[in-house]
Amino acid sequence: MARAATTSDAFNAVAEPRRREILDHLASGERSVNDLVIRLRLEQPSVSKHLRVLRDVGLVRVRRHGRQMLYQANGEGIRPLHEWTKTFERLWAHQLTRIKERAEEKARESPPG
Amino acid sequence: MARAATTSDAFNAVAEPRRREILDHLASGERSVNDLVIRLRLEQPSVSKHLRVLRDVGLVRVRRHGRQMLYQANGEGIRPLHEWTKTFERLWAHQLTRIKERAEEKARESPPG
DNA sequence: TTGACATATTCCCATATGGGAATATAAATT
DNA sequence: AATTTATATTCCCATATGGGAATATGTCAA
């Protein structure tokens, strides 16, 4: 078996850096394809293909406005990624706690003044 | 150009579902390779190869304990994913706000009792 | 040292990929 | 209708993949 399709889920879709850049630009609001082409300095077919993947996994929504297609980020699509990473939150919280503890320990060993 | 290497960053590494499962199991603490093999019902070489990818991108840490290799999740590796998804948090918060507003509107239109 | 156990690596292959180039589709303008 | 503008799709190809099978490496026990 080869690697899972980029369209198999949001995790695979956002693995591609360009697609994350696209989402970053869509975070501030609706953008046309050409907007993205100009801002990201990618070829138009590339942008369209990336948007297609993002659309397939529900990370963006589209509507037509005349000749343009206006894309926007879909929060509900990104949310599962946030929730999954959140389950590991205590790991770096612990690490910070340990760092803090060590700092305090050190302070007790050699108090200021 | 083909797809970016799974070892190019944490985003690519966690795109693989098995690797997320491995991380899920490591979330509760240190585990040996064999523990993971048994719990995830994967072949040992598969687990070792996935762990290698996770290690290369800094998502896990290892230490030797006799014949065993004990792996643990590395919070600092997962944190960037959490931070990135967090930048989109307001998108689903807005959506919830709108849902709430609509519900309240509906309640005003047809008040109870 | 020999054998058993635990883990890692290598080789093979079908498969999906992202970019480039060319082309297709669709809507507005003249 | 013909042209221009905006976007999407198709074809091609080098490349990295994940699993299976086999093998290598490393450690403990007798």
Q: How far apart are the first and last CA of chain B?
A: 65
**B94: closest chain A residue by CA:** A75
How does pLDDT run across B61-99, given as a tens digit for each residue? 999 999 999 999 999 999 999 999 999 999 988 765 666
Predicted pLDDT of residue B93: 81
Q: What is the pTM of this model?
A: 0.86
How does pLDDT run across B5-35, given as a tens digit for each residue? 999 999 999 999 999 999 999 999 999 999 9
Among A24, A87, A92, select the one facing B27 at the smallest CB separation. A87
**A12: closest chain B residue by CA:** B15
How does pLDDT run across A91-112, given as a tens digit for each residue? 988 765 666 555 555 554 554 4
Is the C-beta of residue A65 closer than 7 Å to nucleic acid chain D?
A: no
* Interface check B33 vs A, CB under 8 A: no
Specify the residue for token string 């240190």. Answer: B30
Report the distance separating Cα B82 and Cα A69, nearest Å: 30
Residues pairing with B64 in the sheet: B69
Report the distance separating Cα B33 and Cα B77, nearest Å: 20
Interchain pair B82, A85: CB under 8 A: yes
Tokens for A5, please give them: 């399709």
Q: Is beta strand A31-32 parallel, antiparallel or unpaired with respect to A68-73?
A: antiparallel
* DSSP-derived secondary structure letter, B30: -
**Chain A closest CA to B41's CA: distance in Å?**
17
| Nucleotide with smallest C1' distance to residue A33 CA | D7
